[in-house]
Structure 1
Amino acid sequence: MTLALALYEPDIAQNAGTLARAVACLGLELHIVEPAGFPVGDAGFRRAGMDYLDRAVIRRHASFKAFEEWRRAEGRRLVLATTRGAVAHVDFAFTETDVVLLGRESAGVPEAVHESADARIVIPLNEGARSLNVALAGAMILGEALRQTGGFARTGTG
């Protein structure tokens, strides 16, 4: 079991495709909590994911309830990235079995999802900045989590 990334009802195919490519390159799983704002076969999703989508492990969950049933059965901690987070992502102690959840680009996550999270983290931004692009935020958080857990590949680039 390794670190995983989950997208809550993603709106933008290109961001989801970019993150699918990232998890494929990093050896992680991507979980998509439906409904997404685009078909997973969307051209923008495929273009952003490129040929890496064939390598990506993507699990789709019909709803947040279905995702939560899977996560709890696996005994995994849910770490929500949110502008309302209590701890900076660089100060949070990640584990190899965490599932990092990113909200919708347009609306984040509903309060019930916030309450389901075991931890809430934030990427500190300069005053006046609202948020980062979700794909960039996901990459930053995954990078920190992999650094902490020793999860980066050590064998080179191929």
Structure 2
Amino acid sequence: MNIVLYQPQIPPNTGNIARTCACTGSSLHLIRPLGFSTDEKTVKRAGLDYWDKLNIHYYDSLEELFEKYSDSNFYFSTKYAKNHYTDVEYESDDFLVFGRETTGLPDNIIKDYSDNCIRIPMKAETRSLNLANSVCIVLYEALRQTGFSELL
């Protein structure tokens, strides 16, 4: 499975998501600009001792990622989607895309890929779930559907 973070801003969120990816064998794809550094010194200082177990990729834009994986399925997590994340039949190499902590995904992505937008149900009066929690919810549903392959 592939997790994509569009311009993440908060280091602990990305750190938690990176740990989840390392534990599940999922690849992490980061779209620049990032709100923090991922150089070796910074990673060691943050105590991210599993960073070397992570399959991580960096891109300068979503378009660059789309071009590289043009034959893949992409699902975009947004509170504006009509479909729940459980409505999708995931495949093991799908891409689950999550937006910035403060602004989510760009409007044009939500509009252009509306059929592939998914949401996590929540109360109307609440703004959003934490990004790392959202990734875990959707990722584990996708892993459940694909049989938790290669996981104990």
The TM-score with structure 2 as length reference comes to 0.89
Gaps of 5+ in 2: none
1:25 match: 23
Q: 1:46 to 1:55 in 2, by over 3 A?
A: farther
Q: Is 119-128 or 98-107 further displaced after alignment?
A: 119-128
Specify the code of the residue in structure 2 equivalent to 1:47: A
1:149 match: 146
* CA drift at 1:45: 9.0
Q: Of the candidates 136, 140, 144, which is equivalent to residue 137 of structure 2?
A: 140
Please give the residue correspondences for 1:44-55 in structure 2 after superposition, counting only pairs within 5 Å.
Answer: 47=46, 50-55=48-53
Give the aligned length.
150
* CA drift at 1:92: 2.0
Q: 1:51 to 1:107 in 2, by over 3 A?
A: same
- Kept after mapping to 1: 8 A contact 2:76/2:97: yes
2:4 match: 6
2:57 partner SS: strand
Q: How many angstroms apart in 2 are the aligned matches of 1:101 and 1:22? A: 15
* CA drift at 1:5: 0.4
Q: 1:13 to 1:106 in 2, by over 3 A?
A: same
Gaps of 5+ in 1: none
Q: Is 116-125 or 22-31 further displaced after alignment?
A: 116-125
2:50 partner SS: helix
1:51 partner SS: coil
> Percent same amino acid among aligned pairs?
32
Q: 1:44 to 1:14 in 2, by over 3 A?
A: farther
Q: Does 1:76 align with 2:69?
A: no
RMSD of the alignment, in Å? 2.0
Q: Of the candidates 80, 92, 96, which is equivalent to residue 96 of structure 1?
A: 92
